[in-house]
Amino acid sequence: MTQARLVARQPDWLVGQLPVGMLEDNFFYRFASIFQEEAGTFLDAADNLDKVVDPALAPPAMVRFLAAWLALPPIDPTLDETYQRKLVMQAAKLRWWRGTKRGLSGLLELLTGSRVEIDDSGGVSRQCSSRPRCPKVRVRVGTTGWLSEEEFVELVKDEVPANVGLELFVGERRLWPPAERAGEQLGAS
């Protein structure tokens, strides 16, 4: 993919388009120059729009804002800037796989920096089956990374399809469903 080269605007890009008679009028020339100066700031911003939404080039605050577009939890601004950029770029690529084992595993590894184990029962059943089985997913991670346990649980619940039962563990400790709900049917959250 080739990038278009930007052509620098001439300093008199707007007033230079005025008819000769208007250019000779000092007052009108200065008056039109005010609009040229103001419009120039908008054009400069438009020329840089592709850089503002590129996580590799955007200011750190914009990188964190872009994370919200990808349904990521709010990124802690004290995290390493390089990690923040990597997180947003990789999360964007993983969105193609959202709702799959590959997508969930990749996202959780990216967020936690630890190994992720996912046991997936699948969910395919015959249409004429009298008792279709409820698909279940068991997720085990070593840490929640920089996220609180509550944020982590909400993120995983959001990433798993709505009809899928979920068990979530950090190490050997169950985070979801909570102990009081463990007896209930998984996925009835």
Residue-wise pLDDT tens digits, 4-38: 556 678 888 888 898 988 888 999 899 999 999 99
Give strand ranges (E) for the chain: 116-120, 136-141, 165-170, 173-176
Residue pLDDT, tens place only, 41-73:
888 878 888 888 899 999 999 999 999 999 999
Give the whole-angstrom CA distance, residue 59 versus residue 104: 28
Tokens 């990433």, residue located: 159
Rounded to the nearest 10°, the torsion over CA 106, 111, 117, 120 is: -60
Number of domains observed in the structure of the chain: 2
Give the whole-angstrom CA distance, residue 37 versus residue 42: 9
Q: How far is CA 72 from CA 101, 103, 124, 183, in A?
A: 17, 13, 29, 30
- 68 lies in some domain: no
Q: What pLDDT is attached to residue 112?
A: 95
Domain that residue 23 falls in: 15-47
- 185 lies in some domain: yes
- 123 lies in some domain: yes
Residue pLDDT, tens place only, 104-162:
999 999 999 999 999 988 766 555 555 566 889 999 999 999 999 999 999 999 999 88
Last residue of some domain: 28, 47, 66?
47
Last residue of some domain: 31, 47, 63?
47
Give the whole-angstrom CA distance, residue 184 versus residue 186: 6
Mean pLDDT value of segment 69-80? 94
How high is the mean pLDDT of the chain?
A: 87
Q: What pLDDT is attached to residue 92?
A: 94
Q: What pLDDT is attached to residue 102?
A: 95
Task: Order across the sheet with 173-176: list the strands.
Answer: 116-120, 136-141, 165-170, 173-176
DSSP character at residue 15: G
